[in-house]
Amino acid sequence: MSPIQNGRVLFHSAPKDFPVPGETTVYDTTQTIDPATVPLNGGFLLKTLVLSIDPYFRVMMHGIEGQPGFQVGAPLAGFGVAVVVRSETPSVAIGKHVYGHTTAHQEYSVVPELGALQIMEKHPNLPWSVYLGAAGMPGQSAYIGWKEYSNAKAGEVVFVTAGAGSVGSMVIQLAKKDGLKVIASAGSEEKVAFMRSLGADVVFNYKTTDTRTVLKKEGPFDIYWDNVGGDVLEAALENAAVHARFLECGSISGYNTGQPASKMFHHINAKALHIHGVIMAHLPLTKYLPEFYATVPAQLASGELKYTEEVTRGLDKVGDVILGVQKGTNKGKAIVLVADE
Amino acid sequence: MSPIQNGRVLFHSAPKDFPVPGETTVYDTTQTIDPATVPLNGGFLLKTLVLSIDPYFRVMMHGIEGQPGFQVGAPLAGFGVAVVVRSETPSVAIGKHVYGHTTAHQEYSVVPELGALQIMEKHPNLPWSVYLGAAGMPGQSAYIGWKEYSNAKAGEVVFVTAGAGSVGSMVIQLAKKDGLKVIASAGSEEKVAFMRSLGADVVFNYKTTDTRTVLKKEGPFDIYWDNVGGDVLEAALENAAVHARFLECGSISGYNTGQPASKMFHHINAKALHIHGVIMAHLPLTKYLPEFYATVPAQLASGELKYTEEVTRGLDKVGDVILGVQKGTNKGKAIVLVADE
């Protein structure tokens, strides 16, 4: 066998807004390879079968804090499945399939070791492509995120954005299995029809139907699965129920436009943060108040716990004390002493 | 006894930025009362002892969605302690003390029933004022919020803002009891000294020391107790550890300036939202993947779970597919088919 073309997709330059085929990425045909003779040096030769193109690619184009993104001049890498065509690695047999997020966007790759790749078996009735979608990273994000963080209870309401996507469509189905009412949005009539076929109770095209109107009518919701961020996240915040859970999975609305909302989102998502509103009205008082009053006042009285206060005498001083509290000039818990007993 | 002045603090008008004593609130002396003879109509007469002035007053000046704030022309109401001086309510005896967030800002109040107020006993070695601070709503917010949401573990790092306040100072002490390293900020040297006396490990005056510099040096942190919002919240997001917990308790930085950051914060706090970042890299994979692969592929193959995909043939199409995914024009999970087996 003589050398053949080894097509590759190289990262060329980060776009300002939307990616530009041929500029952001370049399809390169200058490399050749002879699959029969290319030296493996103890590794193995992969023939790429399927590649996953995911929304997070946009983030990889400028990298994430502390993590490198795509390397300029190198092939893109993402989730993919490849078949082993030659091997000098005993544990990686010819004919086996290899899956992982470091799959290079090229037809053939010589790989020195599995690293982040893994040997994968597939279900006989599924194509490999499904292992990049519903049975792959998107499906797993939906499945694990839902199980771990949704705290879903039958009868609750969930709002899912990008509900026809590989993450959203799994979330809709998991929510229906759990007995929830599902409100789901997407950006075309075809996607809306697909969401309906998954069992979503309320489906709409956010391009032709106002999200706030739907949420006001069908909400409030208990869980928000966020794939889009931006103004829809704002709309969701406005229409959430008390103690709603927000699962921040994606922010496609901001990836290409640099909307400020995506900055806060980026940190929440990239660091898997857990953000809890703390407000007296919705704290579990009955769970904790007996313990609080049984321990804290005595500890304050003994000095085991300390406190400060700034007591101002006279009801006529309330306005000044209010201002001081807002400016932070008070030197302890602001108290107005109205009267002696 | 003849009628005496019954001083009151009335809400007059919501301020544009900081409250203006005499304009936002007006101290009114036009009302008189005869404590000995004022009709109780089955209720009881309270003599106000101490009133709490809290940061949330600023929010009450314009009300919160769905909840009325202060009423124009009526006395302010907040947490306070009053003593019962006359009573026609058998369960509310003269000499008892009444505590609650509906305590009116006036010297004497005729109250028809307890409602949100409660009879309170105090520790003999504490003044009533402490029941508005460390042993009151602020202390309880700190105590319950910490116990319920911090998931604190010994050796972790917590960052506390407004650490000399009645909430923050309790958080610092609870964190030290739990064996955490505490980074705490406040706005004066006196407050910094107080935080140090509470055992905080790293204390600084945010007016003279850059928060980001401290967090970069002493962080990343595992828990953020947020009392201030705004740019400090941004700084915290930038310096959080993976799986950090954010306890959103206050946003004083935005109450008087209307900074946009406080809008998202407002919803998180007012609705006690729980926001979790969902990203594959930080999901509990080992906990869920065996279950996922044991169930999901088979359900996809049988049709119990559905999926869509849009397979594009040819590595040279990657750039176009990337663009399509960002624009949302793909009709299913975007897959590039590079080769047949």
pLDDT in tens, B228-260: 888 899 899 899 998 999 998 887 777 777 654
Look at A276 and B140 and tell me if their CB atoms are within 8 Å. no
What is the H or E stretch that residue A243 is in? strand A240-248
Nearest to B95 by CA among B29, B45, B37: B45
Closest-CA residue of chain B to A76: B318
Q: How far is CA B40 from the centre of its chain?
A: 37
pLDDT at A314 (0 to 100) = 87
| Domain limit, last residue, from A276, A309, A324 | A276
- In chain B, how many domains are there? 3
pLDDT at A46 (0 to 100) = 97
- Residue bearing the bigger pLDDT, B111 or A125: B111
pLDDT at B251 (0 to 100) = 79
Please compute the mean of the pLDDT values over residues B105-118 and round it to a whole number.
Answer: 95
Structure tokens belonging to residue B98:
């009444």
Closest-CA residue of chain A to B341: A49
Is there a single domain that holds both residue A67 and residue A165? no
Distance from CA of A41 to the nearest CA of B (A): 24
pLDDT at B341 (0 to 100) = 83
pLDDT at B205 (0 to 100) = 96
Is there a single domain that holds both residue A108 and residue A232? no
Q: Which range is most confident: A12-21, A207-216, A273-282?
A: A207-216
Q: Report the CATH number at residue A241.
A: 3.40.50.720
Is there a single domain that holds both residue A261 and residue A235? yes
Is there a single domain that holds both residue B115 and residue B204? no
Is there a single domain that holds both residue B57 and residue B188? no
Q: Which range is most confident: A86-100, A228-242, A246-260, B122-136?
A: A86-100
Chain A residues within 8 A of B232 when measuring between CB atoms: none
pLDDT at B252 (0 to 100) = 77
Residue B327 to residue A58: CA distance in whole angstroms: 11
- Residue bearing the bigger pLDDT, B26 or B271: B26
Is there a single domain that holds both residue A54 and residue A166? no
| Domain limit, last residue, from B76, B100, B132 | B132
Residue A241 to residue A231: CA distance in whole angstroms: 18
Look at B51 and A335 and tell me if their CB atoms are within 8 Å. yes
pLDDT at B333 (0 to 100) = 84
pLDDT at A271 (0 to 100) = 79
Buried b / exposed e along A195-228 (16+ C-beta atoms within 10 A):
beebebbbbbebeeeebeebbeebbbbbbbbbbb
Is there a single domain that holds both residue B9 and residue B126? yes
Is there a single domain that holds both residue A154 and residue A114? no
Residue B118 to residue B98: CA distance in whole angstroms: 5
pLDDT at B154 (0 to 100) = 98
| Domain limit, last residue, from A239, A258, A276 | A276
Look at A272 and B283 and tell me if their CB atoms are within 8 Å. yes
Residue B127 to residue B134: CA distance in whole angstroms: 11
Please compute the mean of the pLDDT values over residues B79-104 and round it to a whole number.
Answer: 96
How far lies B277's CA from each of A74, A85, B166, in Å? 30, 39, 30
User: How many other β-carbons are positioned within 10 Å of the β-carbon of residue B230?
Assistant: 20
In A178-327, alpha helices (H) = 189-197, 211-218, 230-239, 252-255, 261-270, 285-302, 318-327
Sign of CA dihedral B277, B278, B279, B280: positive
| Cβ-nearest to A326 among B27, B55, B300 | B55
| Cβ-nearest to B140 among A55, A107, A280 | A280
pLDDT in tens, A153-177: 999 999 999 999 889 999 999 999 9
How far lies B165's CA from each of B7, B49, B52, B94, B208, in Å? 29, 22, 13, 34, 18
Buried b / exposed e along A66-77 (16+ C-beta atoms within 10 A):
eeebbeeeebbb
- Per-residue pLDDT for B141 more than 80? yes
Chain A residues within 8 A of B278 when measuring between CB atoms: 141, 145, 149, 247-249, 269, 272
Residue B173 to residue A187: CA distance in whole angstroms: 50
- Per-residue pLDDT for B2 more than 80? yes
Q: Specify burial of residue B262 (Cβ count, 10 A radius: 0-12, 13-18, 19+).
A: buried
Q: Please, are residues A308 and A333 in contact by the beta-carbon 8 Å criterion?
A: yes
Grouping H, G, I as helix, E, B as strand and the rest as coil, residue B233 is: helix
Is there a single domain that holds both residue B206 and residue B242? yes
Cis peptide bond N-terminal to B220, omega within 30: yes
Closest-CA residue of chain B to A255: B326
Is there a single domain that holds both residue A33 and residue A91? yes
User: How many other β-carbons are positioned within 10 Å of the β-carbon of residue B153?
Assistant: 11
Q: Please, are residues A160 and A184 in contact by the beta-carbon 8 Å criterion?
A: yes
Is there a single domain that holds both residue A239 and residue A272? yes
pLDDT at B277 (0 to 100) = 84
Closest-CA residue of chain B to A121: B293
Structure tokens belonging to residue B313:
């043939």
Beta bridge partners of B246: A275, B224
Chain A residues within 8 A of B194 when measuring between CB atoms: 308
Please compute the mean of the pLDDT values over residues B39-57 and round it to a whole number.
Answer: 94
Q: Which residues contact A233 (CB under 8 A, 6 or more apart)?
A: A226, A251, A261, A265
Chain B residues within 8 A of A235 when measuring between CB atoms: none
How far lies B8's CA from each of B4, B75, B102, B109, in Å? 13, 6, 14, 10
Beta bridge partners of A13: none
Structure tokens belonging to residue B330:
């793909």
Please compute the mean of the pLDDT values over residues A58-75 and round it to a whole number.
Answer: 82
Q: Please, are residues B265 and A279 in contact by the beta-carbon 8 Å criterion?
A: no
Q: Which residues contact B5 (CB under 8 A, 6 or more apart)?
A: B29, B31, B32, B107
Q: Which residues contact A4 (CB under 8 A, 6 or more apart)?
A: A32, A33, A34, A35
pLDDT at B262 (0 to 100) = 59
Look at A323 and B27 and tell me if their CB atoms are within 8 Å. no
| Cβ-nearest to B249 among A130, A164, A278 | A278
Look at B333 and A20 and tell me if their CB atoms are within 8 Å. no
Chain B residues within 8 A of A272 when measuring between CB atoms: 242-243, 276-279, 281-283
Average pLDDT, chain A: 90
Grouping H, G, I as helix, E, B as strand and the rest as coil, residue A8 is: strand
| Cβ-nearest to B315 among A7, A240, A337 | A7
Percent of chain A with pLDDT over 90: 61
Q: Please, are residues B228 and B251 in contact by the beta-carbon 8 Å criterion?
A: yes
Residue B172 to residue A75: CA distance in whole angstroms: 50
Structural domain that includes position A326: 285-337
Beta bridge partners of B226: B248
One-letter amino acid at B206 equals Y
Please compute the mean of the pLDDT values over residues A234-261 and round it to a whole number.
Answer: 82
One-letter amino acid at B262 equals S
- Per-residue pLDDT for B266 more than 80? no
Q: Which residues contact B217 (CB under 8 A, 6 or more apart)?
A: none
- Per-residue pLDDT for A28 more than 80? yes
In chain A, alpha helices (H) = 57-60, 137-149, 166-177, 189-197, 211-218, 230-239, 252-255, 261-270, 285-302, 318-327
pLDDT in tens, A174-221: 999 999 999 999 999 999 999 999 999 999 999 999 999 999 999 999
Is there a single domain that holds both residue A56 and residue A19? yes
Question: Following DSSP, what letter does each residue of A287-325 receive, concatenated?
Answer: HHHHHHHHHHHHHHHHTSS---EEEEE-GGGHHHHHHHH
Q: Report the CATH number at residue B56.
A: 3.90.180.10
pLDDT at B339 (0 to 100) = 87
Please compute the mean of the pLDDT values over residues B117-127 and round it to a whole number.
Answer: 92
Chain A residues within 8 A of B327 when measuring between CB atoms: 18
Structure tokens belonging to residue B171:
């958080």
Structure tokens belonging to residue B145:
């919020």
Grouping H, G, I as helix, E, B as strand and the rest as coil, residue B235 is: helix
Q: Which range is most confident: A178-187, A224-233, A286-295?
A: A178-187
| Cβ-nearest to A133 among B187, B298, B333 | B333
Please compute the mean of the pLDDT values over residues A320-336 and round it to a whole number.
Answer: 85
